[in-house]
Structure 1
Amino acid sequence: MEETTTFQGLGHLFMTIFLYCFSVFIVAPVITDVSMAALCPGKDECSLVIYLSGFQQIITGVGSLMMMPLVGSLSDKHGRKSLLTLPMTLNILPLATLAYSRGTTIFYVYYVLKTFTSIICEGSVLCLALAYVADNVSEGQRASAFGILTGIASCAFVCATLCARFLSIATTFQVAATLAILSTVYMRLLLPDSIQDNSVGAPIVSSENLSSPLLEDCPGHRNRIFRSFRSVREMASLMRSSVPLFQVAVVSFFSSLGEAGLHASSMYYLKAKFHFNKDQFADLMIICGAAGSISQLLFMPILVPALKEERLLSIGLFFASAHMFLLCVAWSSWVPYIAAISALFSVFPQSCIRSIVSKQVASYEQGKAQGIISSICSLANVISPLAFSPLTDWFLSERAPFNFPGFSIMCAGFTMRERLAQMSQYERTLFT
């Protein structure tokens, strides 16, 4: 009976993640065209859009760095479902804004809403979903379960992108807003919480802390700020307490840094060099998503028992860097499509990292541990636009010192090689 309840809970979680990811991903192929049309109509290259995108990424990253450990810790005490409600609800606001209109003024309203809601939404839904899976799946099966969860997200990515390929821009945002609402309602009505007893997790702020002079003099909102900084200190302490966890965190940082650099550069690079539009972006994303879905749902459950997470992670890192190096020297518009096939293997790292991390902590710390990795990814997202946005703008403009539009993507590829070196170091530590 308990196994049936667990299975049903995971099924409802997967459906929730599918609907949520669908609402997020369906706007991905069109947002570049919407941004360019609102801010730089009639142009294929726009410095303002690149820098605004980078600034948004920095603000989101800084906020997420503070919020993710706190959200994870709160979910350990109060349950995953309660904490999922906030980011899934906030996700509706920016989508509804562009569903209403996409003029310049409304775009700036969307930009502000998206920036501040992403502080809580960016990464937190996946973080809490991973913690939910860890609550209900044994250690030996977590890598496969995490892979299935990621595969569900990839399926949502493929379906959403395919829909965006054939829908108008206005309809795309209307569908996104509707599904964002539907996913939140579905989660609240049908998803059972994985923590039924709030005493399972240790309190975020203990009674000793509550009686301290510092907190006695603080208003409620200052207590929340204090707990945010306390979560960051807990993150640093946990990193120091486990060498494998620290090394995987370093790998995760370089992984996110390279991926953020690719995402910040690739669309503007393809639009400037090959004049890609929303349909071509959608086709490219469908290939990546389909390859990732097949890999996570079919290959990963077979490969994890045979190769283990650490070996599979190294394979994924290698193909991710190879993808970037091929993309940065693309000589024809068909080359990015060939490079996208590498997603068959380059999707492995995140699931493997999350599985390794989940095995390093106790059952009542899963939310905190997943939040820590999410915050490290957020830190990479802060640093990435500071480096890659200026590089992208420089080498796509007429001011470039030499003709190499894909230079920023090549730099992201070198970052991937660095994380591969870090993974090799971790494997040596693990197997010796």
Structure 2
Amino acid sequence: MEDTSTFLGLGHLFMTIFLYGFSAFISAPVITDVSMAALCPGKDECSLAIYLSGLQQAITGVGSLMMMPLVGSLSDKHGRKSLLTLPMTLNILPLATLAYSRGTTTFYVYYVFKTFTSIVCEGSVFCLALAYVADNIPEGRRASAFGILTGISSCAFVCATLCARFLSTAATFQVATTMAVLSTVYMRVFLPVSIRDHSLIVVPSDKLSCDLLEDFPGHKNRVLRSIRSVREMASLMRSSVPLSQVALVSFFTSLGEAGLHASSMYYLKAKFHFNKDQFADLMIIVGAAGSISQLLFMPILVPVLKEERLLSLGLFFGCAHMFLISVAWSSWVPYIAALFTVVSIFPGSCMRSIVSKQVTSYEQGKAQGIISSICSLANVISPLAFSPLTDWFLSERAPFNFPGFSIMIAGFTMTIAFIKSLMIRATTPMSDMGLP
């Protein structure tokens, strides 16, 4: 009976992540065109759009750096479902803004909403979902379960991108807003509390509200709370060598991926004149490859290769993906490079699984929050380097003709992550503390 309830709970979690991912991903193919139409109408190059995107990424990264360990720790204390409500609700605001209008003034309103809501939303929903899975799945099966969760997210990416491919820009944001509302309602109505939540000490609702007020930024003690979160993060990092190694790999991986994300769309638009439909086609290939890999191949490969080797293999193909895009000589090359996602999708789930095995069941949220925080730190640093670099090499001021130079630098950053991953020692799983 308990196994059945656990299975149903995970099913509802997967549906929640699918709906949320759909609402978040459907705008991805069109946001570049919307940004450039609002900021630089009729142009294929726009320095303002590149720098605003980088600024947004940096602000979000700084905020997330402090928020992720806090959100993870709060979920250990108050439950995963309670903490999921805030980011999923905030996700509605920026989408609703562009659903209303996409003029220049409205775009700046969206930009402000998106920047500050992303401080809480960016990565927190997936982080909490990982902690929820860890609550309900034994150590030996977590890597596959994390892979399935990532696969579900990739499926949402594919479905959302397919819809964006055939919808108008206005309809795209209307659908995104509707799905964001639906995902929040579905989570609140159907998602059961996790097994870990059942072991929490029940406190009166007024006491819980007081605790949340004390813990979240905005309270008079928020600076002290943030310092305490950083200290807890450092202490937990020092407690496990594999955890420290994974954190380092996670930083360089995220730095490379953030560089690719910051540069690739503007690069492809400037060099090959990609538009919304071509971006969507490319994203469909990436999402489909990732979905098939996570749902079918990863459960087979993890028992054979283990997480550490699969992590290194995925990072190697991630490097190859970036290097190939950076030297693309024709518009079909990025589509071929996208197929590398079949293998390059593995690192995220592998790192999360290794981290999960290094901590007790009472620290899953904190541990996943720490890794998300480290990824956010990379997102702070990335735009400082890649936004000016992208703008420089896409402009007429470039010292030499190499439009994909910033993406190649991102590839070298990923190479560092690959080399570091080879040093990760075999994990020593900790007790599941009585979990099934």
* Whole-angstrom CA distance in 2 between matches of 1:112 and 1:351: 31
Q: Which amino acid aligns with 1:280?
A: Q
- Can you give the 5+ residue segments of structure 1 that lack an aligned partner in the other structure? 201-209
Q: Deviations along 1:141-176, whole A, 9 cap, x unmatched?
A: 000000000000000000000000000000000000
Give 1:197's match in structure 2, choosing from 196, 199, 223: 199
What is residue 124 of structure 1 aligned with on the other side? 124
Alignment of structure 1 residues 16-415 onto 2, 5 Å: 16-194=16-194, 195-199=197-201, 221-415=219-413
* Aligned counterparts of 2:349 and 2:427: Cα–Cα separation in 1: 20
Q: Deviations over 1:117-146 (max 9, x none)?
A: 000000000000000000000000000000
Contact 2:250/2:371 (<8 A) preserved: yes
Structure 1: how far apart are the matches of 2:56 and 2:222?
24
**Cα offset, 1:427, TM superposition:** 4.1
Query: 1:361 Cα shift?
Result: 0.2
* Structure-2 change in CA distance of 1:288 and 1:220 (3 Å): closer
Q: How far off is 1:220 after superposition?
A: 8.2
Query: In the alignment, what sits opposite 2:434?
Result: none
Please identify, of 42-51 and 236-245, the stretch whose mean Cα deviation from structure 2 is larger: 236-245
CA distance in 2, matches of 1:278, 1:33: 7
Residue 354 of structure 1 aligns to which amino acid in structure 2?
A: R
Per-residue CA deviation, residues 17-46 of structure 1 (Å, 9 max, x unaligned), is 000000000000000000000000000000
CA distance in 2, matches of 1:280, 1:110: 24
Is the contact between residue 357 and residue 427 of structure 2 (CA under 8 Å) also seen in structure 1?
A: no
Deviation at 1:227, TM superposition (A): 1.6
8 Å contact 2:242–2:425 — kept in the other structure?
A: no
Please give the per-residue CA displacement for 1:190-242, whole angstroms capped at 9, x wherever unaligned.
00111123239xxxxxxxxx9xxxx9xxx981233322221111101111121
Q: Distance in 1 between matches of 2:331 and 2:108?
A: 32
**SS of residue paired to 2:352:** helix
Determine the C-alpha separation between the residues in 1 that align with 2:102 and 2:30: 11
What is the aligned residue count? 416
Please identify runs of 4+ aligned residues in structure 1 that moved more than 3 A: 427-430
String of CA shifts for 1:303-322, please: whole Å, max 9, x gaps: 00000000000000000000
Structure 2 distance, partners of 1:49, 1:232, is: 33
Distance in 1 (alpha carbons) for counterparts of 2:295 and 2:95: 29
DSSP-derived class of the 1:147 partner: helix
Is this contact kept in 1: 2:310–2:346, CA < 8 A? yes
Distance 1:223 1:427 in 2: 39
Q: Secondary structure at the match of 2:336?
A: helix
How far off is 1:429 after superposition? Answer: 9.6
| Deviating more after overlay: 219-228 vs 104-113 | 219-228
Residue 251 of structure 1: how far off its partner (Å): 0.4
Distance in 2 (alpha carbons) for counterparts of 1:131 and 1:317? 24
Q: Map Cα deviations across residues 218-270 of structure 1 (whole Å, 9 max, x no partner).
A: x9812333222211111011111211110110000001000000000000000
Unaligned 5+ segments in structure 2 are 203-210, 429-436
Kindly report the root-mean-square deviation, in angstroms, between the aligned alpha carbons of the 2 structures. Answer: 1.7
C-alpha distance in 1 between matches for 2:228 and 2:292:
41
Question: Aligned equivalents of 2:172 and 2:218: distance in 1?
Answer: 41
Compute the TM-score of the two structures, normalised by the length of structure 2: 0.93
Q: Distance in 2 between matches of 1:160 and 1:399?
A: 37
Letter in 2 for 1:362: T
How far is the alpha carbon of 1:424 from its aligned partner?
1.0
Distance 1:151 1:26 in 2: 17
Instruction: For residue 426 of structure 1, give the secondary structure of its aligned residue in structure 2.
Output: coil
Residues 190 and 332 (structure 1), Cα distance of their counterparts in 2 relative to 1, 3 Å cut: same
Question: What is the CA–CA distance in structure 1 between the aligned matches of 2:314 and 2:24, rounded to whole Å?
Answer: 25
Aligned-partner Cα distance in 1 for 2:201–2:413 = 42
Letter in 2 for 1:181: V
CA distance in 2: counterparts of 1:199 and 1:49, whole angstroms: 48
Distance in 1 (alpha carbons) for counterparts of 2:60 and 2:153 = 21
Contact 2:358–2:427, Cα closer than 8 Å, also in 1: no
Once residues 201 and 322 of structure 2 are traced to their aligned partners in structure 1, the CA distance between those partners, rounded to angstroms, is 47
Give the distance between the partners of 1:135 and 1:429, measured in 2 at CA: 19
Does the CA-based 8 Å contact 2:96-2:174 persist in structure 1? Answer: yes
Query: 2:289 is matched by which residue type in structure 1?
Result: A
Identical-pair percentage: 83
What's the CA shift string for 1:402-422, capped at 9, x where partnerless? Answer: 000000000000001100110
Partner in structure 1 of residue 432 of structure 2: none
Q: Which amino acid aligns with 2:173?
A: F
Instruction: Give the 3-state SS of the residue equivalent to 2:108 in structure 1.
Output: helix
Q: Give 1:189's aligned amino acid.
A: V
C-alpha distance in 2 between matches for 1:409 and 1:370: 28
Partners of 2:155 and 2:426 in 1: how far apart?
Answer: 35
C-alpha deviation, 1:77, in angstroms: 0.9
